[in-house]
Amino acid sequence: MIDILKIKKDLIEARLDTLVAEKNVPYNTLFKAARYSLLAGGKRLRPLLALTTAEIFGASTESALNAACALEMVHTYSLIHDDLPSMDDDDLRRGKPTLHKVYPESHAVLAGDFLLTYAFEVIASDPLLSPTQKTALISILARNAGAQGMIGGQLLDIESTGTPITVNELKTIHQLKTGALLSAAVEFGGVI
């Protein structure tokens, strides 16, 4: 039996590898650091949701692939920043040392920043999307990754550390911190 999810995941991995390739530039360390975290594996749930939703509505996998990968870039940026000493101060991510343990902390911050900003560039420059689609996708991503979504949830998470919170407060944190990008993935598929 053909494993469709594995095929899609392999397509995502290959496109991420191509989109964030090392470059022959003096600041190539930025690309190496970003690749270290971006290509470290993971479920790729957000891009898989975007691809599957797009296909349900009749779009091709290829037309949704770059935008789906942009979602993964934003997710990876959030993990890089979440692992930093000023946030959760994690030593491991997916069984490997976190980025700030392999590269200087400053490089980890910049690699995360690069993935965040590059995600928008990937969408804006996608030749398979119409201007209307690009505008809608950029708006969805900015809203769900920003203060009304993932970043807002991260702030609530930080502020609740060491403090008892209610179940509703915990739900709000998870809806924003995790759920917003999952919602964005489904919205992406619908727009594409």
Taking only the tens place, the pLDDT of each residue in 22-46 is 999 999 999 999 999 999 989 999 9
Residue 155 is predicted with a pLDDT of 95
pLDDT of residue 94: 87
- Per-residue model confidence (pLDDT) at position 64: 98
Q: Mean pLDDT across the stretch 70-76?
A: 98
Residue 178 CB neighbours (<10 A): 15
3-state secondary structure of 92: strand
Round the average pLDDT of the chain to a whole number and report it. Answer: 96
CA distance 61 to 64: 5
What gap in Å lies between CA 162 and CA 100, rounded to an integer?
A: 24
Secondary structure letter of residue 179 according to DSSP: I
Q: Is the pLDDT of residue 1 over 70?
A: no
Determine the pLDDT at residue 2.
Answer: 78
| Residue 65 pLDDT grade (very low, low, confident, very high; cuts 50, 70, 90) | very high
In angstroms, rounded to a whole number, what is the distance separating the alpha carbons of residues 9 and 47? Answer: 8
